[in-house]
Each structure stands twice: as C-alpha cells, then as structure tokens.
Amino acid sequence: MPIIILETYVKAPIGMCFDFARNVEIHIKTTSQTQERAVGGITTGLLKKGDEVTWEAIHFGVRQRLTAKISEMTKPHAFTDVMVKGAFHSFSHTHEFIEHSRGTMMKDIFEYKSPLGIIGQLADKVFLEKYMKNFLVSRANELKKIAEIEANRM
C-alpha cells in the first residue's frame, strides 16, 4: 500500500491553515486542474468530524466520484478523511499542522490501496503513485498561496 508524505511550509497562522484545508470552497479552488466540485453531502463551508462530502472530478480523462468522511479531528492540529466510496480500494488522508514561529508546517500523509489486486499494484508503480503525489503537491501549493495572501492582509 503506497504512502505519500508531503510537507509544505506556509507563512500563515496554524488556525488559518487548518480551516483553509477543510474549507470546501477553497478545496475546489485548489483542485481546479481536475475540475473538482462538491456534489453531495457537505458542499459548502468548513468540514467537521463526521461530515461526508462527495467530490466529482476528472482524472485520466474520466469523470469520477469519490465520497470521503472526516473520521478524526483535533482542532487545529490534524484531521483525517477516509474514502467511503470511490475508485480506490481504500484511502486515508491525514492532514497535520505544526505551528512554527513564523508560520505552519502542513503535513499530508496519504495512504491508499488501488483496486484490482496485482493490476492495481502495477498501476501504482507505473504511474498512479506519481500522479497522486503531483496532485497533492499542486493542491498544497495552491493552498499555501491562498493562505499566505490572506495572512498578508491581516
């Protein structure tokens, strides 16, 4: 089961980073490259523990839906979303926030299991793990830009 760990330093307060990372509208802005949108469950505002959201996006030229649930939350330090329904066999995405003197370290820990057994494992090695890492890096960088612009306005 692949595990992708990503750290992104943001020059913004921990509470802002935490809230922006669980904000549905900001999620949509940070995933524009896949035309992601919320189509079920909580479709606006801040996600909280127990909330579910169904995302629709285009990956590999195919429109897909994925429902995730916020399974854990320790404000403002971490939250975890897990797949309830979607193309993966399973996934868990933990978002951690570590306060620093001049900002916040955002840490993504994304663990997933591809469907289709050995074929899915081959897909991981050939392209899927790299694709998912690039997707997470892009989203984190967009979130960083939004948070730093807003922090500079304070």
Residue-wise pLDDT tens digits, 50-86: 999 999 999 999 999 999 999 999 999 999 999 999 9
Task: Give per-residue pLDDT as tens, 24-54.
Answer: 999 999 999 999 999 999 999 999 999 999 9
Q: 80 CB contacts (<8 Å, ≥6 apart)?
A: 70, 71, 72, 73, 92, 93, 94, 95
**How many structural domains are present in the chain?**
1
132, 110 in Cβ contact below 8 A? yes
Instruction: Tell me the pLDDT tens digit for each residue of 75-120.
Output: 999 999 999 999 999 999 999 999 998 999 999 999 999 988 888 7
What is 48-75 written as a DSSP string?
Answer: -TT-EEEEEEEETTEEEEEEEEEEEEET
Which CATH number is 77's domain given? Answer: 3.30.530.20
pTM summary value? 0.94
**Is it the case that residue 122 has pLDDT exceeding 90?**
no
Q: What percent of the chain has a predicted confidence (pLDDT) above 70?
A: 100
- Domain of residue 43 covers 3-153
Q: What residues contact residue 40 under an 8 Å CB cut-off, 6+ apart? A: 52, 53, 54, 67
